[in-house]
Amino acid sequence: MIARAPRNLSALLVLGIPLLWIVVFMLLPYGIIVTYSFWLKSYPTFKPAFQFGNYLTLLTDVQYLQVLGRTLKISILVSILSLGLAYPFAWWLVFRCRSQALRTWAYMAVIAPLWVSYLLRAYIWKTILGTEGILNSFLMSTGLISEPSSLFLYNQFAMVVTLTYIFIPFMVMPIYTALERIPLNLAEASADLGMGPVQTFLKVTLPLSTPGIAAGFTLTFCLSFGDFIAPFLVGGPDGNLIASVIQTQFGAALNWPLGSALSIVMLIIVLAIVSLSDRLEATAHTGAA
Amino acid sequence: MKKTLTAMLTLGLAAGPALAEGTVNVLTWEGYADPSFITKFEEESGCKVSATYVGSNDDFAPKLLGGGGIYDLITPSIDTTALMIDLGLVEPLDTAAITGWNDIYPKFLSQEGIQRDGAYYGMPYVWGAIAFMYLDSAFPTPPTSIADLWNPELKGKISLWDDKSSIYVAARKNGDMDIYNLTDEQIEKAKAALVEQKPLVRKYWATAGELVDLYKAGEVVISNTWAGYQSGLLKAEGVKVTEFIPKEGAEGWMDSWMVVKDTPNKECAYKFLNMQLSELGQCGVANVNGYSVANAAAAKACMPAEQYAALHQDDPNYLDSLQVWQALGDRFEAYTNAWNAVKAQ
Amino acid sequence: MAAIIELQRISKHYSKTIIGVDDVSLDVEDGEFVTLLGPSGCGKSTLLRMIGGFEAPTHGMIRLAGQDVTHVPPYRRDVNMVFQDYALFPHMTVGENIAYGLKIQGRSRAQARDMAVDALALVGLPDKIDQKPAQLSGGQRQRVALARAIVRRPKVLLLDEPLSALDARLRDQMRIEMKHLHEKVGITFIMVTHDQEEALTMSDRVVVMEKGRVAQDGRPQDLYDQPASPYVANFIGTTNFVAGSLTGRSPAGTRIASAAGDFTATADLALPQGAEVTLGFRPEKVRLLAEGETAANVVPGRIAEVIYYGLGLRTTVELAGGTQVHVDCLLPDSLARSAVPQPGAPVRLGIEPHNVFVFAGRVAA
């Protein structure tokens, strides 16, 4: 009895602290948000209730579906663009870059912006894409355009470019890791069995890197989906994203119940994406040695 | 036991100011607690000023509701002051303890937003217009109307404040002049006008700095503005812009100091209020932000004639031409919702 | 029989100073089982990878069935490889792994599956077709790798240290199975290994490599009985070395004098009298002579150490001049326990002349 008590205590501590952390910092806030989402807006603030009016508003008032649709579109575009850029890059690093020094250097060059302030990174693109920005100066100096174009900044294109730049490390890292884990001799074995480089990539490298792609896609998608800085800095009049709307509901509109309902909808979408990617990774993993 | 403790605490509090030690925490706009005049106040009063800045009137309520309790003073604009009172976040002012109270322009003292049940909750501080502004080089003929912000020739060169006030602007363009009491139908019309304008808009500006950047980077040539503030910043950068009041008129705004309910730093808070209404505070903020001030006597005493005229300190017609913001009360949601719907498109 | 693989003066230079393979010429007959043997870094794997097409030689030419394939990529060579750690595709079933290289040969899905079934039966894994590699044991994976490589019926099968990842017991079993498989399928096998026993038991021919060059190329028994150099003599089996000098020739063979005594060797080297040589003889080809017994070469010595290893004894004998040599002898049951030599006892070693190797020059034993 005496011997057992401290062991139970330490077990309690070991399990209890993270459990407490999860309850206090994750479940409790979600619980509060869920509760608010059923409340009623009532000037000057809101009052407790249990009704689905907020969710109904989200479904019936076209503005929320519009913003949700746009946010999904932007996030998917960012994820696809990131994938398109990150995959060849990671592939080159792992399979083609012979110099260890160059590989480390190139990998860090992509990852390093993570240590730079998010705001600064978004601002950089403002400077590049602006009417009097670097891109326009460059295009004019090459003679491709005669007048500065305003097509690059303050629109969805600029948001996609900026978000891609900001979140691409989250695509590169898991893909790099997945590719690095593929034994080099698998590609040799495939070539040995008569498959050319393209078929080898499609049949061996690509399927084996699916977990990395899924993880990267999920990360970039979820991060873009919840972003509100890029629309604020480089987005245009048509750049309102779901997180900005939530922010407005908690701020300017002082409508916490509606903001909470929106947050819950957003959470459900993100969880759906995460579980989908989990399933994808699980299928890919059953075969891994 | 409990009583003894309270007594001890009270003693402790009473002892504080006697030793000339104290703090005042203000939640305010940038420039309203500028070191150029606050440092002097700190030296003279022994009260240390700790300032937190807001970017929008919408920041006050969430910051105070979200378990704030660390702020002693706030400066919401006249359309937000009533909300603060309704939310029970602020307490009535002891106007007798504020020197210069009677020198405040009567037009501001008569504002409903700062009063409730015969008591004052807000001390008028600075005011100005939501004027319009254009880049000189882009307009051979100066614009005179709000309609110029709907001019298709200016496509991609227009900016508008990302605020419910855009509904006010659109309503006036539509000829609906009672902008604080718009009907649902009128709001719908204003919304439609804003949607129509949207393709012409380069960017809705959210902060003063952002608008300055937009002009500096050559992105926009016409917008609304916080009169005196952004134009001043742009002139300092060498960008030539001109403010104008369109023929449809402009909104006026006024910021008031309010004391947060049950502040423990009451003594320093009142010292701070007195300073802000004095020549030190009034000319201090006018020099930093370029806003007009609420204390007529102080303005006359500390401003050079040129500045005095430029800030319309003694220009009843100008002041009367402004439609000073009003609290929207339960119509608030209709306005914000319409504006959000425009942005969602 | 025609040469299926012809290596003509193949070299692989990684840089001016780092040379992987140095001027190797080698013909492999159709249907032969040839092993490239040598320690790590001798160039045997590089040579194999060049035959497979995974690396290109810097000099020389590789012919496969008469065609120059020196710069043909692996996927266009009719050669297949069993990789050291098998390189099975983890995301595919055993059946998919085996059928992987068949579709490109124009086989239908059904045909490919039938061939995979047959190949699995051939390697003794008929019931594993739908399992994933991760579900198999090391030995089973090895068999799948073999099946995957032979199912395409390549002209040549390359095996890169195919047994090194298996434990000792399984390795012995697989040696035999692979030899049988080679006989059954009739494909040319080229194997790389560092294990001389593996090389001797499995191959028709062994190519011993040293520092990128061929040290000796021959049948296992020839390598064992007539090593061309001390390096080969020591790499294949164990050899005792004694420094000596050539003193003359007699009808019985070459006469060699050493500090340990005089030897006669059948081997004849074209060396002048007085030339420095190294004698070699294997521990198992030496007898400890009993009282009154005699041999063509009798060398006296003193027992330094006796190690009993069940099957027999390994004694270390110190010869005159201080050289220590090993002598292995089986323990005949007639030998009384008292007859087991004791350390310190004087002995006489008997060695037949045809068991004495003679190498030119001196080597550090």
A131 touches chain B (CB under 8 A): yes
**Residue A289 carries which DSSP code?**
-
Distance, in angstroms, between A62 CA and closest chain B CA? 8
Which chain C residue's Cα is nearest to A287? C91
Domain ranges of chain A: 55-288
Kindly state whether B55 is in contact with chain A, defined as any CB-CB distance less than 8 angstroms: no
Using a CB-CB cut-off of 8 Å, the residues of chain C touching A288 are 90-91, 134
- The whole-number pLDDT of residue A26 equals 85
For residue B21, what pLDDT is reported?
65
Please identify, in words, the CATH class of the domain defined by B2-127+254-321: alpha beta
Residue C164 has pLDDT above 90, yes or no: no
Interface touch A208/C54, C-beta < 8 Å: no
Q: Scanning every residue of chain C, which has its alpha carbon at the shortest distance from the alpha carbon of A189?
A: C87
> Hey, of A154, A242, A248, A255, which one would you mutate to test binding to chain B, going by the most B CBs within 10 A of its CB?
A154
Secondary structure class of B74 (helix, strand, coil): strand
DSSP, collapsed to helix, strand or coil, labels residue B27 as strand
Q: How far apart are CA C268 and CA B245, in angstroms?
A: 119
Residue numbers in B near A39 (CB within 8 A): none
Respond yes or no on whether ipTM tops 0.85: no
Return the closest-CA partner of residue C156 out of C199, C202, C132, C191.
C191
CATH of domain C3-233: 3.40.50.300
Distance from CA of B243 to the nearest CA of A (A): 23
- What rounded mean pLDDT belongs to chain C? 90
Chain C residues within 8 Å of chain A (Cβ atoms): 52-54, 73-76, 79-81, 83-85, 87-92, 100-101, 104-105, 132-134, 148-149, 152
Q: What pLDDT sits at residue C339?
A: 65
Residues of chain B scoring pLDDT < 50: 1-20
Helix axes A62-91, A156-181, angle to 10 degrees: 40
Least CB–CB distance from C91: residue in A189, A192, A287: A287
- CATH tag, B128-251+325-339: 3.40.190.10
Range(s) of chain C covered by CATH 3.40.50.300 = 3-233
What is the least distance, in Å, from the CA of A153 to any CA of chain B?
9
Cα distance between residue C290 and residue C33, in whole Å: 43
pLDDT of residue B70: 86
Torsion of CA A75, A76, A81, A84, to 10 degrees: 140
CATH of A55-288, one of 1.10.3720.10, 1.20.1280.50, 2.10.109.10, 1.10.20.140: 1.10.3720.10
Task: Write the residue in B83, B330, B333 that is nearest to A253 by C-beta.
Answer: B333
* C-alpha span between B33 and B15 (Å, rounded): 26
Do the chains contact at C75 and A289, CB–CB below 8 Å?
no
How far is B332 from B253, CA to CA, in rounded Å? 17
What residues of chain A lie within 8 A of the CB of C133, using their CB? 287, 289
**Chain A hits for C76, Cβ within 8 Å:** 194
Cα pseudo-dihedral B161, B167, B173, B177, rounded to 10: -120
Q: Which helix (H) or strand (E) holds B86?
A: helix B81-86
Residues of chain B with CATH 3.40.190.10: 2-127+254-321, 128-251+325-339
The whole-angstrom separation of Cα C84 and Cα C192 is 10
Chain C residue with Cα closest to A289: C134
Fold (CATH) for C238-334+344-360: OB fold (Dihydrolipoamide Acetyltransferase, E2P) (2.40.50)
Asked if A66 has any chain B CB less than 8 Å from its own CB, the reply is yes
| Chains linked to C by 3 or more Cβ pairs within 8 Å | A
Q: What is the DSSP letter of A24?
A: I
Amino acid at B106: P
Whole-number percent of chain B with pLDDT over 90: 72
Kindly give the parts of chain A with pLDDT less than 50: 1-3, 287-289
Chain A closest CA to C25's CA: distance in Å?
24
- Min mean pLDDT across A147-151, B312-316, C314-318, C329-333 is at C329-333
Per residue in C46-68, pLDDT tens?
999 999 999 999 999 999 999 99
CA distance A123 to A100: 33
What is the predicted pLDDT for the residue at A286? 55
Of A41, A237, A250, nearest to B62 by CB-CB distance is A250
A122-126 long-range contacts (CB < 8 A, ≥24 apart) are: A122/A162, A122/A166, A122/A229, A122/A230, A122/A233, A122/A234, A123/A233, A125/A158, A125/A161, A125/A162, A125/A165, A125/A233, A125/A234, A126/A153, A126/A233, A126/A234
